[in-house]
Amino acid sequence: MPFINFSKDEIQCKIVYYGAGFCGKTTNLQYIFAQMGEDTKGKMVSIDTRGDRTLFFDFLSLNLGKIRGFDVRVQLYTVPGQVHYDATRKLVLKGVDGVVFVADSLKVQRKKNIESLINLAKNLAEKGISIRTVPLVIQYNKRDLDGTDSEILPVEILEKDLNSMLKVPSYSASALKGAGVFETLREISKLVVKDVSRKIMLVDQQLK
Amino acid sequence: MNIIITKEDLKKINFFLDKVVSSSLAHSVLLIDRSGQLITQYGNTLDIDILSLSALTAANFGATAEIAKILGEEEFTLLFHKGKSENVYFTAIGEHVIMVTLFDDKTSLGLIRLRINQIAEDLSRTLASIFEEKREVTVSGLQRPS
């Protein structure tokens, strides 16, 4: 649900990072927060437990510059990944304009990725949003573990598991080291802004 | 639902917020929507991080609504947090909006509540007309942008 403020010529959009527990959603936001300039970012708010697990959500507000004369501000949220925090995930998804699904490349997490994607589809559907139409980008995280003792799945397998039906843009990434993080953010922002611009045009037409 | 606010809408909304701020000695009043987006702020918000406050307020409201459900209530329509000198009072305004009132010990909770109650219904009607009357954009059936 974009919020379009004609009195300030500002558009606010909400992007949610979704995925199974420990897949790297918060790490994505932390990397973005560390790299962005002071003038374009707000504070990063995290509600987590002592064990580094997100309890409620992380929140980061970014200014993306101007589009068609409007200042575009995106608000990035993460959800808690653990299965039993579903009620919290639903709360955070409220009013979402775009989703980044962060998949864990570790082989042992294969099933959890699929479960989390199904959970996302279900929770979006409850809000009347189809996973097939919402702006969505998939990120294959932890690619930096390739060649280490931790066994990771090839991108082709992850694509087949998660993206064979959706066919959305996908990126290999290492949220910890930063590879692919901004590519993911750029793509989802582009999709969301495109979607919002289309909505503005619809509004323009309806108001005329 | 998309929220779209024009200058005229904001004028109408600020009329009510001005009434609250000027008659209750609150620092400032914010209106935010239930997904955490700031709609408008009125008064002196000092140097606080309004965007984070909005996100956390929506989450706070959502979380307490779940507590209400456990207790058999639909939701709690007002919340109050008291600090040593700063206080915050949250009120649900209609279905989509939360009003956040920031105030210190120069005024009292009773006065704040009274002033908000006096405008809540009219403000809620105004917001409902802004949201529903003209701006509901039908986006179902649209395809993902390529």
Does residue B4 lie in a domain region?
no
- Total domains present in chain B: 1
Give B102-120 pLDDT, tens digit per residue. 999 999 999 999 999 999 9
Does residue B117 lie in a domain region?
yes
Residues of A with CB under 8 A from a CB of B: 1-7, 12, 14, 42-43, 45, 47, 56-57, 59, 61, 75, 77, 87-88, 91-92, 94-96, 132-136, 168, 191, 194-195, 198-199, 202-203, 206-207
Does residue B141 lie in a domain region?
no
Give A20-70 pLDDT, tens digit per residue. 999 999 999 999 999 998 888 888 888 876 566 777 889 999 998 887 788
Tell the CATH topology of A3-207: Rossmann fold (3.40.50)
Report d(CA A191, CA A188) in Å as an integer. 5
Does residue B2 lie in a domain region?
no
pTM: 0.85
Measure CB to CB from residue A45 to each of B6, B52, B66 and give the nearest one: B52
CB contact under 8 A, B59 and A91: yes
Give A126-172 pLDDT, tens digit per residue. 999 999 999 999 999 999 999 898 999 999 999 999 999 999 999 99
| Structural domain boundaries enclosing B91 | 9-133
Closest CA to A189 of A169, A160, A166, A175: A169
Is the complex ipTM higher than 0.90?
no
Q: What is the CATH number of the domain that holds B89?
A: 3.30.450.30
Give the domain ranges of chain A.
3-207
Does residue B146 lie in a domain region?
no
Does residue B142 lie in a domain region?
no
Q: How many CB pairs (< 8 A) connect A and B?
A: 109
Tokens for A77? 């949220």
